């Protein structure tokens, strides 16, 4: 996850032979992919522990997710090119234009990184996750005994209200996840574009024309130094642990 | 004359039936209002238990639990727990038209409901005794055991939250 430097876009041998018509470029940096994987695992664990009455673990997992989401938010500012919010949060005109192109079909409509619609999907997923975790810290179970690490700051009734919001926001999150999966299926089936592979390996084969003129493969590869990743991860982890202890240490 | 008399009788009959209907509506309304006040009192009682259990759980989770807070909470739950069956008089369930998460099974299976309530009351009383001893490990274990009796009864007799 600490691979840095510029040697990450390696034109494959046969691509090189055919005068570099397509190249295998790094489109997602390591931390972005690790965060994505951790989110999948932790949400699955949060669901499992909740449905098996393991609330102590559910709360710990929620705090771990808080750390991961905080890391991703910071990575959206300090991370690799395709991970930065500034690279993928686009205005409504761009989003609608992209949607229109998508409906019309035809040739490749987007190069690397999140497309204008997918960018907002990321913002929505991270935003709802942050809200879900934030509310979760204040939740109180119907029996009163189980409660989130910040429940002592609120009344029993406010904690119960938080629990209702926690359920509601989870359903919103679930809807967004299903939409996310449908979009992946759409790209795979309709556009013959495999989005899962690059999210696992970080690499994607691209026609050279699909890479924007201002971004060279070397730019896309930049993932950040080990120190930068470690520093952000350490801060995010500290906040997560601090939250688990109700911000009391 | 007889026609007038018959007319009066008919009028009387129709007035009487109107009166009966009005009385029925009023009675139903009164029953609903009654069910509502029972429901509100029941919810207030459960919220007191919830509030005490919340304080208890938070103390037991914290690094340095306050024994007086734990003991007061345990005492309060012990005082309220035996009252639970009395908060569910007949006609205060979903059939009464009030918005409640109390399931009709409470009144359909009264013995099972009373058994679950008694199990809770026993666990709460034991918690009160253990809390008085001041042994935090034993208090934690008994609080968990009591929490399980809450869950058992809620699963059988309380509609799940949305």
- Assign residue B125 the CATH number of its domain: 1.20.120.10
**CATH number for position A57:** 1.20.950.20
How many Å apart are CA A65 and CA A72, to the nearest integer?
10
The predicted complex's ipTM stands at 0.77
Number of domains comprising chain A = 1
Nearest CA in chain A to B61: A149
- B99 in a domain, yes or no? yes
- A205 in a domain, yes or no? yes
Q: Are B76 and B100 in contact (CB under 8 A)?
A: no
Minimum distance, in Å, between the CA of residue A173 and any CA atom of chain B? 16
Of B58, B63, B150, the CB nearest to A143: B150
Closest listed residue to residue A221, CA positions, set A196, A198, A188: A198
How many Å apart are CA B54 and CA A159, to the nearest integer?
9
Q: For residue A22, what are the β-bridge partners?
A: A207
Q: What number of other Cβ atoms are within 10 A of residue A215's Cβ?
A: 16
Instruction: Identify the domain containing residue A63 by its residue range.
Output: 13-244
Residue A124 sits at the vertex; the CA angle it makes with A122 and A130, to the nearest 5 degrees, is 100
The pLDDT of residue A69 is 98
> Averaged in consecutive runs of 10 residues, what is the pLDDT profile of chain A (249 residues)?
40 47 82 96 97 93 98 94 92 92 72 89 98 97 93 96 97 98 93 90 75 51 78 96 90
- B162 in a domain, yes or no? no
Any CB–CB contact under 8 A between B143 and chain A? yes
The pLDDT of residue A1 is 36
Closest listed residue to residue B84, CA positions, set B123, B58, B128, B57: B123
Q: For residue A24, what are the β-bridge partners?
A: A205
The pLDDT of residue A121 is 96
Closest listed residue to residue A5, CA positions, set A230, A223, A229: A223
How many Å apart are CA A167 and CA A139, to the nearest integer?
10
DSSP B102: B
- pLDDT tens, N- to C-terminus, chain B (162 residues): 445 555 656 666 666 676 666 666 666 656 666 888 899 999 999 999 999 999 999 999 988 999 999 999 999 999 999 999 999 999 899 888 888 999 999 999 999 999 999 999 999 999 999 999 999 999 999 999 999 999 999 999 999 876
Number of domains comprising chain B = 1
Q: Is B33 helix (H, G, I), strand (E, B) or coil?
A: helix
Residue A155 sits at the vertex; the CA angle it makes with A149 and A160, to the nearest 5 degrees, is 75
How many Å apart are CA B142 and CA B99, to the nearest integer?
33
Closest listed residue to residue A88, CA positions, set A76, A103, A97: A76
Nearest CA in chain B to A155: B51
Contacts of A218 (CB under 8 A, 6+ apart): A6, A9
Any CB–CB contact under 8 A between B57 and chain A? yes
Minimum distance, in Å, between the CA of residue B47 and any CA atom of chain A? 7
Kindly report, residue by residue over A123-151, the tens digit of the pLDDT. 999 999 999 999 999 999 999 999 999 99
Nearest CA in chain A to B145: A145
Q: Where are the beta strands (DSSP E) in chain A?
A: 22-26, 203-207
Minimum distance, in Å, between the CA of residue A13 and any CA atom of chain B? 57
- A170 in a domain, yes or no? yes
Of A53, A156, A167, the CB nearest to B50: A156
Of A142, A146, A167, the CB nearest to B162: A167
The pLDDT of residue A2 is 38
Of A145, A156, A157, the CB nearest to B143: A145
Q: Are A1 and A32 in contact (CB under 8 A)?
A: no
Instruction: Identify the domain containing residue B112 by its residue range.
Output: 2-157
- A214 in a domain, yes or no? yes
Contacts of A45 (CB under 8 A, 6+ apart): A57, A61
Give just the sign of the alpha carbon dihedral A151, A153, A155, A161.
Answer: negative
- A7 in a domain, yes or no? no
Contacts of A36 (CB under 8 A, 6+ apart): A199
The pLDDT of residue B101 is 94
How many Å apart are CA A86 and CA A57, to the nearest integer?
35
The pLDDT of residue B21 is 66
């Amino acid at each position: 996850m600490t691979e840095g430097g510029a040697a990450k876009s390696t034109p494959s041998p046969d691509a090189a032979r055919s005068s570099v018509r397509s190249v295998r470029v790094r489109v997602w940096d390591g931390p972005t992919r690790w965060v994505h994987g951790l989110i999948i695992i932790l949400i699955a664990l949060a669901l499992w522990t909740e449905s098996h009455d393991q609330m102590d673990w559910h709360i710990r997992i929620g705090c771990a997710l808080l750390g991961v989401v905080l890391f991703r938010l910071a990575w959206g500012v300090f991370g690799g090119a395709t991970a930065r919010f500034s690279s993928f949060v686009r205005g409504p005109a761009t989003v609608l234009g992209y949607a229109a192109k998508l409906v019309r079909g035809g040739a490749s409509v987007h190069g690397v990184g999140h497309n204008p619609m997918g960018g907002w999907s990321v913002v929505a997923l991270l935003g709802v996750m942050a809200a879900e975790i934030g509310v979760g810290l204040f939740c109180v179970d119907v029996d009163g005994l189980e409660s989130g690490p910040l429940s002592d700051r609120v009344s029993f009734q406010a904690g119960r209200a938080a629990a209702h919001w926690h359920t509601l926001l989870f359903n919103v999150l679930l809807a967004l996840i299903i939409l996310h999966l449908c979009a992946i299926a759409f790209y795979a089936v309709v556009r013959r574009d495999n989005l899962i592979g690059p999210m696992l390996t970080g690499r994607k084969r691209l026609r050279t024309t699909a890479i924007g003129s201002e971004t060279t493969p070397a730019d896309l590869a930049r993932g950040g130094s080990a120190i930068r990743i470690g520093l952000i991860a350490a801060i995010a982890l500290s906040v997560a642990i601090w939250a688990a202890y109700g911000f009391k240490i | 004359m007889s026609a007038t008399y018959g007319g009066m009788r008919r009028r009387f009959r129709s007035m009487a039936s109107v009166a009966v209907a009005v009385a029925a509506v009023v009675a139903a309304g009164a029953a609903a209002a009654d069910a509502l006040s029972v429901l509100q009192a029941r919810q207030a009682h459960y919220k007191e238990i919830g509030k005490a259990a919340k304080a208890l759980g938070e103390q037991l989770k914290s690094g340095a639990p306050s024994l007086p807070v734990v003991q007061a909470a345990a005492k309060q739950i012990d005082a309220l727990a035996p009252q639970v069956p009395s908060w569910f008089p007949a006609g205060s369930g979903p059939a009464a038209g009030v918005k409640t998460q109390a399931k009709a099974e409470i009144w359909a299976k009264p013995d099972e409901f009373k058994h679950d309530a008694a199990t809770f009351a026993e666990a709460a009383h034991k918690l009160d005794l253990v809390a008085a001893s001041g042994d935090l490990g034993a208090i934690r274990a008994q609080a968990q055991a009591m929490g399980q009796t809450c869950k058992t009864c809620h699963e059988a007799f309380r509609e799940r939250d949305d």
